[in-house]
């Protein structure tokens, strides 16, 4: 059944397996020594996609106490001056007035999921700013996002009764 004209909220009621293949996009966060560092994921994302998971690796080095992170949808890497002008990736995850939405303890891998967030990217990519507090030597970290596109078709039985009539 063609569902390409369905409203997004109705598509989001379909079972998870209808969303098809998922793939990881991500980037190395680079090095930082107590300054705010922008990043931008090089891979493009679909105009409308589902965010299923976020994995963040924050390796510690020489006295780091935490990593602060903000995630946005943007066409270019944000700066500390304009980061708040870009749309938030994790709406509902933290208050919109916070500069850094995620604060991670040192030396930890963080899994923000599972989630099932509908994201309308509109030609934007995933980017943000991170800062390592208390570090006395530069170090690197990674961030990855598990995403999928929106289904265009599903088997007829999914919407006609056997799948629960969603």
Q: In this structure, what CATH number is given to the domain that contains residue 93?
A: 2.60.120
Domain that includes residue 122, residue range: 19-152
Residue 158 domain flag:
no
> Using one digit for the tens of pLDDT, what is the confidence trace for 71-98?
899 998 888 788 888 888 887 666 666 6
Number of domains in the chain: 1
> Using one digit for the tens of pLDDT, what is the confidence trace for 50-72?
999 999 887 655 556 677 888 89
- The pLDDT, as a whole number, for residue 145 is 95
Residue 4 domain flag:
no
Residue 159 domain flag:
no
Residue 14 domain flag:
no
How far, rounded to the nearest angstrom, does the alpha carbon of residue 105 sit from its chain's CA centroid? 19
Residue 45 domain flag:
yes
Give the mean pLDDT of 138-161: 86
Q: Report the C-alpha gap between 96 and 66 in whole angstroms.
A: 21
Residue 163 domain flag:
no
Residue 166 domain flag:
no
Residue 160 domain flag:
no
């Amino acid at each position: 059944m063609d569902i390409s004209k369905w409203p997004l909220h109705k598509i989001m009621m379909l079972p998870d397996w209808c969303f098809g293949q998922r793939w990881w996009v991500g980037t190395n966060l680079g090095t930082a020594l107590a300054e705010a560092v922008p990043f931008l994921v090089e891979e493009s994302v679909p105009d409308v996609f589902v965010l299923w998971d976020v994995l963040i690796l924050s390796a510690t080095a020489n006295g780091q106490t935490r990593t602060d992170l903000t995630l946005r949808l943007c066409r270019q890497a944000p700066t500390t001056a304009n980061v708040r002008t870009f749309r938030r990736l994790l709406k509902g995850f933290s208050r919109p007035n916070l500069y850094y939405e995620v604060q991670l303890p040192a030396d930890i891998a963080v899994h923000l999921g599972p989630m099932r967030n509908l994201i309308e990217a509109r030609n934007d990519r995933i980017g943000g700013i991170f800062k390592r507090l208390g570090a006395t030597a530069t170090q690197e970290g990674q961030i990855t996002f598990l995403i999928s596109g929106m289904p265009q078709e599903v088997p007829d039985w999914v919407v006609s009764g056997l799948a629960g009539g969603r």
